[in-house]
Amino acid sequence: MAETTEPDFRARVRRSFDRQAFMRMIGAELTRVEQGMVEIELPFNEMMTQQHGILHAGIISSALETAGTYAGYSVLEPDAGLLTIEFKVNLLSPGRGERFLFRGEVTKPGTTIIVSDGRAYAMSQDAPPKLIASMTATKMVVRDREGFAE
């Protein structure tokens, strides 16, 4: 397992997340970084809807996939990078809410392959969080490839 004990894995995760132009574009924030677990939050925005006015499946998937990537990244050694090989998303309830929370967690760390799972929740002031999607993603650790570490 490629687990890191360096004190600043949080800073390393944040620096990489901050370079994701697309996460910035949609207003996603990295609100929690633990070893093997990351949370991203996103306020609802009409720009991100599909034809029925609810959050686009692509946005849900993008944020879940990113949460899964940084969950994996948080347990990597500092000079390694992570590429997503594949992921699957199940859309469990319509994406209606004021805010959305995306949690990624490492299910299986490894020196070559890291598998993470994710859950997405719709958040509203007057209701409990509602599970709207689940995800499983497979990532490959890359080393010695310029431009793929942090």
Q: Which residues bind a copy of itself (CB under 8 A)?
A: 16-17, 19-23, 25, 46-53, 56-59, 61-63, 65-66, 81, 83-93, 107-108, 112-113, 115, 117, 131, 134, 136, 138, 140, 147-148, 150
For a copy of itself, give the closer residue by CB, 88 or 98: 88
* Residue at 31: amino acid letter: T
For a copy of itself, give the closer residue by CB, 4 or 16: 16
Helices and strands per DSSP (H, E), number in the chain:
3, 6
Task: Quote the least distance from Cβ 134 to a copy of itself, whole Å.
Answer: 6
The C-alpha R_g of the chain, in whole angstroms, comes to 15
For a copy of itself, give the closer residue by CB, 1 or 127: 1
Q: How many Cβ atoms from other residues are within 10 Å of residue 79's Cβ? A: 10
Task: Quote the least distance from Cβ 5 to a copy of itself, whole Å.
Answer: 23
* Residue at 84: amino acid letter: T
Task: Quote the least distance from Cβ 55 to a copy of itself, whole Å.
Answer: 9
For a copy of itself, give the closer residue by CB, 19 or 125: 19
Task: Quote the least distance from Cβ 125 to a copy of itself, whole Å.
Answer: 24
Task: Quote the least distance from Cβ 76 to a copy of itself, whole Å.
Answer: 13
For a copy of itself, give the closer residue by CB, 118 or 125: 118
Query: Could you give the C-alpha distances from 69 to 8, 39, 63, 95, in angstroms and in order?
Result: 17, 11, 10, 22
Q: Can you spell out the DSSP letters for 68-129?
A: HHHHHHTTS-TT-EEEEEEEEEEE-S---SSEEEEEEEEEE--SSEEEEEEEEEEEETTEEE
Q: What's the CA gap between 143 and 147, in Å, rounded?
A: 10
